[in-house]
Each structure stands twice: as C-alpha cells, then as structure tokens.
C-alpha cells in the first residue's frame, strides 16, 4: 500500500511545476518547444517502467536471445546453448508451413474482426434503445460471457458441437429433420474455423459492445434530433453523425481486436484436442506452442515468436500513432 500513497503525495508537485512553468514564463509563440515539469514526471514513470521491464522486456529479451540459439530440451535442463546466427529464422522463413499458418491466421483474423465489430456495434445500438430492465439484463448476459474463461467456454462449446452426443447435431437432426447424425464439425478446416470463430466472437463481443455503448452515450442528442428533423434515416444518422463522432473509438477497438484475434491461442488449442486436424487448423499462437513446447525446438519456436512480435508491433504502431494524434488535437 505504500506505492500509491507516495505517488499521490508527489503528484501535486508535478502539476504545480507545470503550472508555474508553462503558462507563465513561456511567451505565447508559434511552435514553442514544450517544456514539462522537469524531472518529476520521469520519476513517476519509474515504477511502471520497472514493472514493465520485469514482466515484458525481460522475457522478450530472453525470447530474442533464444531465437538466435540452438535451444532444445537439453538446453532447458542446462546444456550450453550455442549461437547459430540467423539459422532459425532462415529455417522458419523457408518453411511453407509457416506461410500457410501466417496466411490462415491473417484471413481468420480479418473475418473475426469484421464479425465481432459488426455484432458488437449492433448490440451497442440495441442497448441504447432498450428500457432499463432489458438493458441491465443484456449487460449482465454480456458480462457473464465476458467473465467466462476462454478454456471453459471452448470446452462447453465443444460439447455442444460434439459428433456423437452434441446438442447441435441433436437439434438439427431431430428438430429440423436434417441429416446431422454423427456429423463431425471439426474435421473440415472451414467448419473447424466456423466453430472456433463462434467461440471467439462470442467471447469478444461484450468488450466491443460495452466500449461502443459507452461512446454512444457521448453523442449529443440534439445533433441526432436535428438530423432526424432534417429527414435523415436511421442508417444515415449512424453513417454521417454517430460514426464520425466515434471514429477514434472504432479505430482503437478494431486495432485491439486485430491484435487479440491474430494471437488467439486457447480456443484453437482446446478445440484441436477435441477434434480436427492440427496441421490444417493451426494459427500463429498454436504453431509457436507446437514448435517450442510440443517438439522441444525452442530456438525455432522463438524465431517464429519474434517474427510475430514484429508483426504485432507494426500493427500496434498504428494504434499508438492514432492515440497520440487524438491527444494532440
């Protein structure tokens, strides 16, 4: 409990310092160099940086080192790990499986993001129309879906789609009279990704819906009313008023979804244990796991992971740049 107290105690000095320095001393000039409150802000960043260094940068550094080494199971148990330069990277980039996994992950990610954003936006819009009772009911439902651990959710969904005893096959066969007895949902890759996508979107919609709903409450009512008086339909109002107001919210949520969906692991990994062909259904996260922990090739797995990190960083860069832009406006 000491850390927060000390943070609070030192916080006012920063603000005071800023107030003293910035408006008073600086003459209003174009393109003035910004001067902030001296050393204090950096001191305040130190605890965060230490935490980040310990839990993010240190493992990342280890990962990068391993990716340049020959690192197998023997090295895990203490054998020396020789450096092999870019051998691991060359092996990965020359492996057609890697490119297949990459392509599959990106395609799957695009579909997931589009579906999640659409469903999330529609649910958010629905929440603005509902009365208090149903809004609370819907919120609770969304929260429960959100709170459900991904592994638990996947196993329950896996049971529902079970080949022999699943409720989905039962309903389709006995309810609708279709021939779905003993139908395996996971054996065909497209069908596998349909089920996996369902589980992932189901888990991701609540976050999108809540965030966009929060944004929707900030759109001024009078603007919408004026547009309605001018004869704008519901879709036009969304396209011309709501969307521009929430542009930054949409952008940030979309980029977060892209990053999360690209590195999806739990749902795919758990479904592969239930059924399907691993080789045809592995995405980046699972592929890294299979290479490092599965076959004990930590060096190769590390190289794939580092390549993925670079890819994610490029996407995150868009996100950070957008955030910075918003702040400068």
User: Which residues here bind other proteins, judged by CB under 8 A?
Assistant: 72-74, 76-79, 163-165, 182, 184, 186-187, 272-280, 290, 293-297
CB of residue 78 vs other proteins: minimum separation in angstroms?
Answer: 7
Q: Which is nearer to other proteins, 17 or 275 (CB)?
A: 275
Q: Which is nearer to other proteins, 211 or 290 (CB)?
A: 290
List the one residue out of 116, 103, 95 whose CA is nearest residue 254.
116
CB of residue 295 vs other proteins: minimum separation in angstroms?
Answer: 4
As a whole number of Å, the CA-based R_g of the chain is 25
List the one residue out of 312, 324, 322 whose CA is nearest residue 106.
312
CB of residue 116 vs other proteins: minimum separation in angstroms?
Answer: 27
CB of residue 95 vs other proteins: minimum separation in angstroms?
Answer: 10
Q: Which is nearer to other proteins, 52 or 74 (CB)?
A: 74
Q: Which is nearer to other proteins, 11 or 74 (CB)?
A: 74
Half-sphere exposure of residue 208: CA atoms within 13 angstroms, side-chain side: 28
What are 319's two structure tokens?
Answer: 């996100």
CB of residue 139 vs other proteins: minimum separation in angstroms?
Answer: 36
CB of residue 93 vs other proteins: minimum separation in angstroms?
Answer: 16
> Judging by beta carbons within 10 Å of its beta carbon (0-12, 13-18, 19+), is residue 91 exposed, middle or buried?
middle
8 A C-beta contact, residue 124 and residue 216: yes
Task: Look at the block and give the residue holding tokens 């309903």.
Answer: 171
Question: DSSP letter at 304?
Answer: H
8 A C-beta contact, residue 147 and residue 206: no
Q: How far is it, in rounded angstroms, from Cα 82 to Cα 75?
A: 10
Q: Which is nearer to other proteins, 172 or 259 (CB)?
A: 172
Q: Which residues pair with 69 in a beta bridge?
A: 83
List the one residue out of 208, 186, 187, 190 whose CA is nearest residue 115.
208
Q: Which is nearer to other proteins, 12 or 177 (CB)?
A: 177
CB of residue 289 vs other proteins: minimum separation in angstroms?
Answer: 8
Q: Which is nearer to other proteins, 13 or 173 (CB)?
A: 173
């Amino acid at each position: 409990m000491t850390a927060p107290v000390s943070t609070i105690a030192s916080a006012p000095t920063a603000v005071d310092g800023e107030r003293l320095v910035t408006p008073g001393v600086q003459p209003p000039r174009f393109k003035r160099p910004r001067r902030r409150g001296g050393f204090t802000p950096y001191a305040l960043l130190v605890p965060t940086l230490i935490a980040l260094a310990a839990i993010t940068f240190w493992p990342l550094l280890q990962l990068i080192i391993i990716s340049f080494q020959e690192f197998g199971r023997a090295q895990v148990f203490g054998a020396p790990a020789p450096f092999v330069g870019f051998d691991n990277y060359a092996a990965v980039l020359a492996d057609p499986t890697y490119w297949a996994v990459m392509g599959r992950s990106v395609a799957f990610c695009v579909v997931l993001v589009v579906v999640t954003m659409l469903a999330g936006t529609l649910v958010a819009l629905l929440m603005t129309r509902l009365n208090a009772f149903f809004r609370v009911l819907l919120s609770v439902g969304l929260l429960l879906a959100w709170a459900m651990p991904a592994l638990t959710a996947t196993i329950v969904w896996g049971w529902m789609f079970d080949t022999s005893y699943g409720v989905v096959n039962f309903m389709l066969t006995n309810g609708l009279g279709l021939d779905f007895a003993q139908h395996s949902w996971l054996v065909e890759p497209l069908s596998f990704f349909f089920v996996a996508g369902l589980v992932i979107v189901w888990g991701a919609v609540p976050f999108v819906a809540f965030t966009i709903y929060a944004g929707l409450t900030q759109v001024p009512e009078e603007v919408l009313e004026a547009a309605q008086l001018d004869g704008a339909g519901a879709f036009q109002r969304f396209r011309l008023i709501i969307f521009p107001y929430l542009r930054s919210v949409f952008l940030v949520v979309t980029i977060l979804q892209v990053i999360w969906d690209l590195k999806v692991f739990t749902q795919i990994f758990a479904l592969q244990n239930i059924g399907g062909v691993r080789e045809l259904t592995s995405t980046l996260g699972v592929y890294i796991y299979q290479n490092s922990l599965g076959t004990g090739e930590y060096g190769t797995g590390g190289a794939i992971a580092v390549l993925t990190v670079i890819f994610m960083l490029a996407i995150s860069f868009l996100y950070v740049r957008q955030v910075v832009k918003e702040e400068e406006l």
